[in-house]
């Protein structure tokens, strides 16, 4: 990974482009945003606002899960540049 920061909104958009569906347990701001990838039975959850920058720990964890389940082979940083991003 390089030093280019991405927001959680960018990450959420990327996850949607990879086939993840958001499953929000509630509407409260304190509730995590949960993403489910049906084909691989992968669940990712985040407790951050869309406009915040993704922490290195979340970036690494997400990338490990995506690689481990065979969803992607490239780094998240390289994938972010391939899709139109918005702030969800």
pLDDT category, 87, cuts 50, 70, 90? Answer: very low
Q: Which fold would CATH assign to domain 8-80?
A: Metal Transport, Frataxin; Chain A (3.30.920)
CB 73 within 8 A of CB 3: no
Please determine, for residue 64, whether its predicted confidence score (pLDDT) is greater than 70.
Answer: yes
Exposed e or buried b for every residue in 6-15, given b needs 16+ CB within 10 A?
Answer: bbbbbbbbbb
Q: Cα–Cα distances in Å, from 1 out to 19, 34, 76? A: 22, 24, 8
Domain ranges in the chain? 8-80
Over the stretch 8-43, which tens digit does the pLDDT of each residue have?
A: 999 999 999 999 999 876 666 678 899 999 999 999
């Amino acid at each position: 990974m390089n030093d280019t920061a991405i927001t959680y909104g960018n990450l959420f958009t990327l996850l949607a482009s990879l086939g993840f569906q958001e499953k929000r347990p509630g509407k409260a701001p304190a509730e995590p945003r949960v993403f489910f990838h049906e084909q691989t039975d992968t669940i990712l959850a985040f407790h951050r606002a869309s406009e915040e920058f993704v922490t290195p720990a979340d970036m690494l964890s997400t990338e490990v899960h995506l690689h481990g389940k065979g969803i992607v082979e490239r780094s998240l940083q390289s994938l972010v540049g391939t899709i139109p991003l918005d702030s969800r």
